[in-house]
Amino acid sequence: MDLYLLSRFAHIVGVILLGGGLLAVWISEFQAYRTNEIAVFAESARYTAIFYDFLVIPGAITVAISGVFLCKILASVFLTNHG
């Protein structure tokens, strides 16, 4: 497996983690804003923190690192002088 396919796969996985994490955060915050009970609010806030820590942040880091690798791999294609 070459580095380009591995970087592209990591980039797609990172986007899925980031998107799924942000969707989960939105749902948990929506649940927190709808309630008047402090226990439900606290549980929603805990889930929001868990989703950020285990889905959104690793997804963003994976997208950033794999994006740098993809730019570095494809730099020869885009930055060469064909003139």
What does the domain layout of the chain look like in residue ranges?
3-76
Distances 77 to 9, 10, 57, 70 between C-alpha atoms, Å:
20, 21, 30, 11
Tens digits of per-residue pLDDT, 3-44? 889 999 999 999 999 999 999 999 999 999 999 999 999 999
Residue 82 pLDDT more than 70? no
Q: How far apart are CA 57 and CA 79, in angstroms?
A: 31
Q: How far apart are CA 30 and CA 8, in angstroms?
A: 33
Tens digits of per-residue pLDDT, 48-80? 999 999 999 999 999 999 999 999 888 866 776
Q: What is the pTM of this model?
A: 0.84
Q: Tell me how many degrees the CA angle 2-58-22 measures, rounded to the nearest 5.
A: 120
Query: Residue 28: what pLDDT?
Result: 95
